[in-house]
């Protein structure tokens, strides 16, 4: 075999291997979605669509009539995630701006690995902190009888999504061309004006991507919210209400649910709904990001 | 050399015989994880007395044990709850006749924060609180404070037992579904407005004192005018304390032969002592009467 033939063989083999790797993740994604939809759809043989999507009462293993309304847990998931983003976005973007624009190289080299280390804390440990630290703190600060509520979950999820937000946003801010900033300085802008009016808008698409990734982290987190949010199935009245999110519901109930029952299938329907929700957020984010993309 | 070999072979044969003599009966026990340690202690003690019986105990949960009984895969299904109508239906379709025998009693305690000035509740009041009909401690003689109700998660046998026997309706949607007994106790140590239910064994120490940081409520049975403390073991032994649940051994039809011998051993004074040493309670006369449907002691 000539050298060229070997090279040709290796090349085409590598091409096929990488294509398989790329397609594999698509296939897994589709496979999961189809499995969720296929099992979830069987719920609606017994439960009318309106009783699933428009009812706030979820109690599939009820003493009386079982109820399959997802509205309360969808609201709980959105509430906890919204709270987490309200806390994490200013902190995360601020930290990213500081790391890329303000901090000296030495400070950056110490801070960045430490922030990334935050992502390595197991979620069950974060949940434990929610029970023994954040919960009592909230109940003291706000005069509540206990601190197991949506706000507790939001605070913990904010901490958990910070590393994602900071890392991705920092990359985005650093990728803004130096010439943009020099132009701002040349026109008399100071560091603050340059950061807020030039650098941040120029990296908006990357920052939005960072926020969405952080949100994905928050919306799908299970163990932490299961431990810290109080798990009451009612519709949340606010951040001080105990809530049970979609993920927590699936985690709690899938373990003991009798196979092949409506309850079993309804948990897949909840999973499919969660999938569609986070897919929806991703698509919206893509649109927003595309809108803000600067062309150079 | 040949001699030694023969002796060795004989020894081997005898050893083999010791582990598997002719005519040994095997009994399989499967089910409730709560009861698995108790079932093991009972089985070990019984096997020491009767070399002709070998008993294997596995857990997996009450539901698993019942499913195994229905499929004919176990001789005894241990369960901390009664069988559901659907399960009985399934069993009958398989030609299995599930026979519930109560062999021990578990007690539940209602616990509150020690600083809450409420010492007793009636069973009816407990039901009203957990159904969400009473939402303030004032209604049961306490301070003007909103009640926070704590319970187990919906996959717990205790959750189902408490709902079916005390509430006889669904829980209020404000129920804080805690991830295990420890979390309920942990929450009540700090939450002055809370009430929660836990297995009695979990909140009593070896000397039968309430563990620090919580208060165990006295409970007034429906037919009684005084509230009874579960800390006093006699209230549970004589069946007066209301929040008790039977632990079952389900067999296929009334037990016979070695199976009957083993179950009678569990119900004997010696068996019931093992039950008590494992943190549960011996049968009250009511449950002895209940077993008479199937057993002649």
Q: Residue B182 in contact with residue B213, Cβ under 8 Å? A: no
The answer to whether B173 contacts A232, with C-beta atoms less than 8 Å apart, is yes
Mean of the pLDDT values across residues B272-297?
Answer: 86
Residues facing residue B29 across a β-bridge:
B57, B76
pLDDT > 90? residue A257: no
Interface residue A123 vs chain B (CB under 8 A): no
The minimal CB distance from B192 to the residues A131, A145, A148 is found for A145
pLDDT > 80? residue B9: no
pLDDT > 50? residue B16: no
Is the reported ipTM for this assembly greater than 0.95? no
**Which CATH class for the B106-237 domain?**
alpha beta
State both tokens at A130.
């929610």
Phi (first) and psi of residue A231, to 5 degrees: 50, 50
Nearest CA in chain A to B145: A145
pLDDT tens, residue by residue, B73-88: 899 999 888 888 888 8
Give residue B160's pLDDT.
Answer: 86
* 3-state class (DSSP) for residue A239: coil
Interface residue A59 vs chain B (CB under 8 A): yes
pLDDT > 60? residue B92: yes
Work out the percent of chain B whose per-residue pLDDT is above 70. Answer: 92
pLDDT tens, residue by residue, B146-168: 999 999 887 777 888 899 989 99
CATH homologous superfamily for the domain A51-292: MetI-like (1.10.3720.10)
Closest CA–CA distance from residue A282 to any residue of chain B (Å): 32
pLDDT tens, residue by residue, B257-269: 899 999 999 999 9
State both tokens at A276.
């569609």
What is the torsion angle, in degrees rounded to the nearest 10, for the CA atoms of residue B240, residue B243, residue B249 and residue B250?
110
Give residue B4's pLDDT.
Answer: 55
Residue A42 C-alpha from the chain's centroid: 28
Instruction: Mark which residues 177-206 of A lie under 8 Å from B by CB.
Output: none
The Cα-based distances of A143 to A136, A139, A200, B241 in angstroms read: 10, 5, 39, 36
The minimal CB distance from B154 to the residues A135, A146, A253 is found for A253
List of chain A residues whose C-beta atoms are within 8 Å of the C-beta of residue B147? none
Phi (first) and psi of residue A211, to 5 degrees: -65, -45
Give residue B220's pLDDT.
Answer: 94
Domain limits of chain A? 3-45, 51-292
Give residue A129's pLDDT.
Answer: 94
Q: Residue B31 in contact with residue B62, Cβ under 8 Å? A: yes
Give residue A282's pLDDT.
Answer: 84
* 3-state class (DSSP) for residue B51: coil
Give residue B22's pLDDT.
Answer: 63
Give residue B276's pLDDT.
Answer: 87
CB burial string A101-130: b at 16+ within 10 A, e below: bebeeeeeeeebeebeeeeeeebeebbebb
Mean of the pLDDT values across residues A223-250?
Answer: 94
Phi (first) and psi of residue B26, to 5 degrees: -100, 135
Q: Residue A229's pLDDT band (boundaries 50, 70, 90)?
A: very high
pLDDT > 80? residue A2: no
The answer to whether B169 contacts A63, with C-beta atoms less than 8 Å apart, is yes
pLDDT > 70? residue B19: no
Interface residue A288 vs chain B (CB under 8 A): no
Give residue A49's pLDDT.
Answer: 94
State both tokens at A143.
């005069």
The Cα-based distances of B288 to A157, B170, B215, B264, B291 in angstroms read: 53, 31, 32, 12, 5
Nearest CA in chain A to B132: A234
Q: Residue A3's pLDDT band (boundaries 50, 70, 90)?
A: confident
List of chain A residues whose C-beta atoms are within 8 Å of the C-beta of residue B170? 59, 62-64
Mean of the pLDDT values across residues B109-124?
Answer: 94
DSSP class of residue B80 equals S
Give residue B174's pLDDT.
Answer: 94
Question: Residues 6 or more apart from A254 whose CB is under 8 A from it?
Answer: A267
pLDDT tens, residue by residue, A148-176: 999 999 999 999 999 999 999 999 999 89
Residue range B25-104+245-291 in CATH 3.40.50.2300 = no
pLDDT tens, residue by residue, B178-210: 888 888 998 999 899 999 999 888 888 878 888
* 3-state class (DSSP) for residue B58: strand
Give residue B199's pLDDT.
Answer: 86
The minimal CB distance from B177 to the residues A244, A255, A258 is found for A244
Residues facing residue B204 across a β-bridge:
B210
Q: Residue B21's pLDDT band (boundaries 50, 70, 90)?
A: low
Q: Residue B150 in contact with residue B184, Cβ under 8 Å? A: yes
List of chain A residues whose C-beta atoms are within 8 Å of the C-beta of residue B163? 63
Work out the percent of chain A whose per-residue pLDDT is above 70. Answer: 98
Chain position carrying tokens 């804080």: B176
Give residue B13's pLDDT.
Answer: 47
List of chain A residues whose C-beta atoms are within 8 Å of the C-beta of residue B145? 145
DSSP letters, B99-162, are: EEEEEEEEEEEEEE-TTS---EEEHHHHHHHHHTS--BGGGGTS-S-BPEEEEE-TT-HHHHHH
Give residue A63's pLDDT.
Answer: 86
Angle at B52 (CA atoms; ends B47, B56), nearest 5 degrees:
50
The two domains B25-104+245-291 and B106-237 share their CATH topology (first three levels equal): yes
Phi (first) and psi of residue B101, to 5 degrees: -120, 125
Domain limits of chain B? 25-104+245-291, 106-237
What is the torsion angle, in degrees rounded to the nearest 10, for the CA atoms of residue A129, residue A130, residue A135 and residue A136?
0
Give residue B12's pLDDT.
Answer: 47
pLDDT tens, residue by residue, A45-95: 999 999 999 999 999 988 888 999 999 999 999 999 999 999 999 999 999
DSSP letters, B161-207, are: HHIIIIISSPPPTT-EEESSHHHHHHHHHH-TTEEEEEEHHHHB-TT
The answer to whether B174 contacts A232, with C-beta atoms less than 8 Å apart, is yes
**How far apart, in whole angstroms, are the C-alpha atoms of residue B54 and residue B68?**
19
pLDDT > 80? residue B136: yes
Closest CA–CA distance from residue B260 to any residue of chain A (Å): 31
* 3-state class (DSSP) for residue B251: strand
Q: Residue A255's pLDDT band (boundaries 50, 70, 90)?
A: confident
Nearest CA in chain A to B169: A63
């Amino acid at each position: 075999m000539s050298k060229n033939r070997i090279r040709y063989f290796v090349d085409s083999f590598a091409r096929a291997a990488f294509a398989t790797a790329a397609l594999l993740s698509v296939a897994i994604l589709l496979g999961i979605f189809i499995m969720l939809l296929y099992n979830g759809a069987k719920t609606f043989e017994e439960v009318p669509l309106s009783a699933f999507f428009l009812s706030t009462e979820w109690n599939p293993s009820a003493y009386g009539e079982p109820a399959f309304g997802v509205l309360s847990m969808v609201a709980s998931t959105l509430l906890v995630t919204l709270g987490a983003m309200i806390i994490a976005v200013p902190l995360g973007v601020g930290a990213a701006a500081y790391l890329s624009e303000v901090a000296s190289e030495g400070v950056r080299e110490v801070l960045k690995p430490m922030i990334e280390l935050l992502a390595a804390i197991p979620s069950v440990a974060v949940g434990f902190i929610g029970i023994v630290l954040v919960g009592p703190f909230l109940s003291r600060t706000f005069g509540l009888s206990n601190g197991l509520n949506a706000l507790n979950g939001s605070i913990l999820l904010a901490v958990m999504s910070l590393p994602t937000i900071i890392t991705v946003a920092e990359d985005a801010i650093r990728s803004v061309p130096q010439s943009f900033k020099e132009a701002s300085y040349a026109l008399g802008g100071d560091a603050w004006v340059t950061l807020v009016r030039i650098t941040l808008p120029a990296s908006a698409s990357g920052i939005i991507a960072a926020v969405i990734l952080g949100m994905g982290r928050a919306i799908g987190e299970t163990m932490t919210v299961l431990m810290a949010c109080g798990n009451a199935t009612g519709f949340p009245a606010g951040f001080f209400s105990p809530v049970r999110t979609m993920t927590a519901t699936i985690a709690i109930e899938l373990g003991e649910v009798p196979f092949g029952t409506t309850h079993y299938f309804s948990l897949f329907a909840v999973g499919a709904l969660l999938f569609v929700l986070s897919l929806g957020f991703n698509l919206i984010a893509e649109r927003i990001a595309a809108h803000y993309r600067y062309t150079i | 050399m040949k001699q030694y070999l023969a002796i060795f072979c004989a020894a081997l044969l005898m050893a083999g015989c010791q582990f598997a003599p002719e005519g040994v009966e095997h009994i399989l026990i499967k089910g409730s994880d709560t009861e698995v340690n108790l079932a093991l202690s009972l089985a070990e003690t019984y096997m020491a007395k009767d070399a002709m019986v070998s008993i294997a105990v596995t857990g997996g949960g009450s539901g698993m044990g019942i499913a195994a009984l229905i499929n004919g895969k176990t001789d005894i299904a241990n369960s901390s709850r009664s069988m559901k109508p659907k399960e009985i239906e399934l069993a009958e379709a398989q030609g299995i006749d599930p026979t519930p025998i109560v062999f021990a009693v578990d007690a539940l305690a209602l616990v509150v924060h020690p600083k809450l000035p409420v010492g007793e509740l009636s069973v009816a009041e407990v039901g009203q609180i957990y159904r969400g009909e009473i939402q303030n401690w004032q209604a049961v003689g306490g301070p003007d404070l909103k009640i926070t109700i704590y319970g187990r998660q919906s996959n717990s046998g205790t959750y189902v037992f408490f709902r079916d026997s005390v509430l006889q309706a669904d829980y209020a949607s404000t129920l804080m579904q805690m991830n295990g007994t420890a979390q309920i106790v942990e929450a009540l140590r700090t939450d002055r407005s809370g009430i929660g239910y836990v297995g009695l064994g979990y909140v009593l120490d070896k000397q039968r004192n309430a563990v620090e940081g919580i208060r165990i409520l006295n409970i007034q049975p429906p037919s009684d005018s005084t509230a009874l403390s579960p800390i006093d073991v006699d209230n549970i032994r004589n069946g007066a304390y209301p929040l008790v649940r039977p632990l079952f051994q389900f067999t296929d039809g009334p037990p016979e032969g070695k199976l009957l011998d083993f179950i009678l051993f569990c119900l004997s004074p010696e068996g019931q002592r093992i039950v008590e040493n494992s943190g549960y309670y011996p049968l009250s006369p009511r449950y002895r009467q209940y077993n008479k449907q199937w057993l002649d002691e």
